């Protein structure tokens, strides 16, 4: 049997909350409760990270293309989260430069693309929202 990492992590978090936290008090109880919440968040992010980054990288690459910035995709696709994050960092750096250039312009095309960039950034925040977070 191959354990599912999100399922195993969520189970560990639930056990910490149900079996360990009640046996503790004060600072230790709070630390373990916070740790269990963080494990839940890690489980959620583990399950969605690659898909989220793949989607975001495509969206940012499209915005860059609309702005006339050619960003080649990696020669060899790599779906490891670390590789997708590195690509995301590279694309976002180019997006910052594009957005700065757009803000220096005073035309409808620049304003429209700048608005599209802000919409994508808002979508990016939503993609990262942690379901269990209460903040």
| Average pLDDT of the residues in 43-55 | 95
Average predicted confidence (pLDDT) for the chain? 94
| Average pLDDT of the residues in 111-134 | 92
- Looking at residue 134, what is its pLDDT? 64
pLDDT: is 74 or 79 the higher one? 79
b/e code 45-80 from CB counts within 10 Å (16+ = b): eebeeeebbeebbebbbebbeebeeebeeeeeeeee
User: CA-CA distance, 50 to 35, in Å (whole number)?
Assistant: 23
Contacts of 74 (CB under 8 A, 6+ apart): 83, 87
The pTM (predicted TM-score) of the whole model is 0.83
Element (H, E) at 107: none
Contacts of 91 (CB under 8 A, 6+ apart): 57, 60, 61, 64, 71
Contacts of 94 (CB under 8 A, 6+ apart): 64, 69, 71
pLDDT-based confidence at 135, cuts 50/70/90?
A: low
- Looking at residue 41, what is its pLDDT? 94
131 has a pLDDT exceeding 60: yes
DSSP summary character for residue 43: H
Output the CA–CA distances (angstroms, integers) from residue 9 to 22, 39, 53, 56, in the order listed. 19, 6, 21, 26
- Looking at residue 37, what is its pLDDT? 94
């Amino acid at each position: 049997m191959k354990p599912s990492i999100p399922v195993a992590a969520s189970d560990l978090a639930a056990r910490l909350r149900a079996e360990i936290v009640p046996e503790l008090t004060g600072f230790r109880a709070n630390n373990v409760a916070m740790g269990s919440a963080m494990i839940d968040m890690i489980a959620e992010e583990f399950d969605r990270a690659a898909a989220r980054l793949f989607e975001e990288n495509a969206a940012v690459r499209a915005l860059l293309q609309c702005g006339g910035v050619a960003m080649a995709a990696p020669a060899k696709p790599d779906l490891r989260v670390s590789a997708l994050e590195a690509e995301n960092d590279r694309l976002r750096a180019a997006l910052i430069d594009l957005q700065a250039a757009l803000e220096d312009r005073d035309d409808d095309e620049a304003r429209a693309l700048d608005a599209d960039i802000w919409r994508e950034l808002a979508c990016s925040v939503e993609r990262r929202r942690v379901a269990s977070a209460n903040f």
